[in-house]
A and B are shown apart, each in its own frame.
Chain A
């Protein structure tokens, strides 16, 4: 066999003074990095298999392990850098499309970090959320332009709405891509926190039907797991057109991940590849989308809002406008940093635009057209923390989806090898011996903690701005100032530079 040019990405540092040969690392590494060598009674590592997922590091009871980036240097070259060379090596030896997982790790400008929030000083008071009510409840759905009231009574009731106790939802993560344990964690946490979780295109497993009230059921191009019961089981339906991590391409769940439970839930045979086509083959145009939106509304007797999720692409504003006019109640925009269980590396890193710019453009466009009320706007793709959310809402979002942050909450260490199905944290795998590593109670508790923590932070930030209701921040771009952006970026974001 010709020699491989690929160096291990990481080195395993095992402190022999601390290793007690308990073999916890051996039994925990699904990548088979650690082995106990009984001849020398010590644990050794096959470093080329290490993906730096930290399972062994965190589980090692004596902290004997460190994972280091392989310090071997390539000849310095800014252009032909080591990751470029390694990519070519992988393809030279494997001959395939480079696959990866999670969102892009490229240094794309992070607009969130260039945006700064306002705070009250002297001329109006900041509000202390510990003393005063601070409201972050959010209604998602189409709003009429006006409310008609006669004799103190509402004449026409509101179209169906999703009520969120915080403007945060768990983004689409399908059962199949992630484990049932992870699904249960998300579902339970969403229910406990009064927010929503999203089935992705994985269907709704029987065990989580009880969390339907807080569930958005997705209809994607593969139509996996979709039937009338499914559509009616959630509180909203989302048509997935695109995904930020891989705009323009479909999904592919390999047959080995389609076990008994995935098969039942997705309604496909055990072991068959679950292939979501790149487009919906019944949607080649906006009027087709309208038909599907209304077909879904009919199927649920107009009791549930219908969301349409698209990747943030170049003319996203016009696309969003079309979606609203096609009858969507919610438009979800997934930016270029959106995550995935598996995507071609080049697509992930090069296709789509940042969520911040897409959001600002879409919100502005819908307002210009006077149709912003007709649909709520949900932003996704790289929301990392509560201040990202607050900034997103100030830019014009009604709520945010979090995916990667939720996965990290459940234990994901961003090793980006989701597509191997060997997730050591039991999140992105169907291997039963790995799936049980994620205790849904712990997962749900951690997610609940996160939502609560972020809710508190959002309230603090709102209070600092002298705002006690989230509505007053929505689209309130005066609360933002930018630093270090170009004129064009300021224009698109609709904000002023700091100091002005």
Chain B
């Protein structure tokens, strides 16, 4: 499947991916200003920029083939779509137990406590075709959305 890969050698560490991701997954997906100013709680980005200068890179759910989060999920909210391969969290079923946070080896699942507590994670902007918002908006092409075959890399 296509995944988002970070190219740390050109990541400027600006964290604009976080801003755009948070906006896209907020109550006001088309307006940064509204998302950050009107939503009661600050919107949570589902991508995370790690910084240990000069190293920076963005990291988000890897949509694992054998996803620990889906296996560990106590409610069955976290599932991997057999067609698209996208791992998503059904927030209506999630109870915020953080087992997924415990098992995700990438640390890619965040706690969103803005509403009822839920695990918040990358959903590839709900598609496996067009570029997710983080890829679209990365000002330095440090994120790519691509299929890398096994043994490829």
Contact = CB atoms under 8 A, between A and B. Distances in A.
Q: Do chains A and B touch in the complex (CB under 8 A)?
A: yes
Given A59-B139, A431-B54, A432-B54, A27 B33 contact: no
B46 interface: no
A27 B9 contact: no
B16 A61 contact: yes
B132 interface: no
A164 to B, nearest CB: 29
Interface in B4-25: 8-16, 18-20
Interface stretch (A18-26, A89-97, A293-301): A18-26
A28 interface: yes
A66 interface: no
Interface string B114-147: 0000000000000000000000000111100000
- Select the residue from B11, B12, B19 with max chain A CB neighbours within 10 A: B12
Given A61-B19, A61-B20, A20 B32 contact: yes
A442 B36 contact: no
Contacts of B20: 61
Interface string B54-74: 101000000000000000000
Interface stretch (A106-114, A394-402, A433-441, A457-465): A433-441
Interface in A71-114: none
B19 A436 contact: no
A350 interface: no
A62 interface: yes
**Chain A, interface residues (CB within 8 Å), range:** 20 to 34
Contacts of A439: 10, 140-142
Interface in B32-66: 32-33, 36-37, 51, 53-54, 56
B142 A27 contact: no
Contacts of B37: 20
A27 B19 contact: no
B12 A437 contact: yes
Nearest to A441: B141
Given A437-B12, A442-B141, A24 B54 contact: no
Q: Is the interface of B mostly helix, strand, loop or mixed?
A: mixed
Given A62-B32, A436-B11, A436-B54, A24 B142 contact: no
Contacts of A20: 19, 32-33, 36-37
Contacts, number: 59
Given A59-B139, A61-B19, A28 B33 contact: no
B10 A24 contact: no
- Select the residue from A62, A426, A439, A440 with max chain B CB neighbours within 10 A: A439
Contacts of B33: 18, 20, 62
Interface in A21-37: 22-24, 27-28
**Chain B, interface residues (CB within 8 Å), range:** 20 to 34
Interface in A363-387: none
B103 to A, nearest CB: 30
B16 A24 contact: yes
Contacts of A433: 13, 53-54, 56
A402 B9 CA distance: 27
B15 A22 contact: yes
Contact of B16 (A59, A432, A436): A59
Interface string A53-66: 00000010110000
Nearest to B33: A62
- Select the residue from B18, B140, B141, B142 with max chain A CB neighbours within 10 A: B140
A426 B14 CA distance: 13
A77 B37 CA distance: 47
A27 B139 CA distance: 14
Interface in A420-438: 426, 431-433, 435-437
A7 B9 CA distance: 38
Contacts of B53: 433
Interface in A440-455: 440-442
B11 to A, nearest CB: 7
Given A20-B37, A62-B32, A62-B33, A27 B13 contact: yes
- Select the residue from A22, A426, A433, A435 with max chain B CB neighbours within 10 A: A22
Nearest to A433: B54
A22 B139 CA distance: 16
Nearest to A445: B141
A24 B45 CA distance: 14
Contacts of A22: 15-16, 18-19, 36
Nearest to B7: A439
A433 B8 CA distance: 11
A437 B16 contact: no
A204 to B, nearest CB: 21
B14 A27 contact: yes
A41 B71 CA distance: 39
B142 to A, nearest CB: 7
B102 to A, nearest CB: 29
Contacts of A437: 10, 12, 140
A440 B140 CA distance: 10
Contacts of B11: 436
The 5 A-B residue pairs with the shortest CB-CB distance in the complex, in nearest-first order: A433-B54, A432-B54, A20-B36, A439-B10, A437-B12
Given A20-B33, A27-B13, A59-B139, 13 more contacts: A22-B36, A24-B19, A27-B51, A28-B12, A59-B14, A61-B16, A61-B32, A62-B32, A433-B54, A433-B56, A436-B11, A437-B12, A439-B10
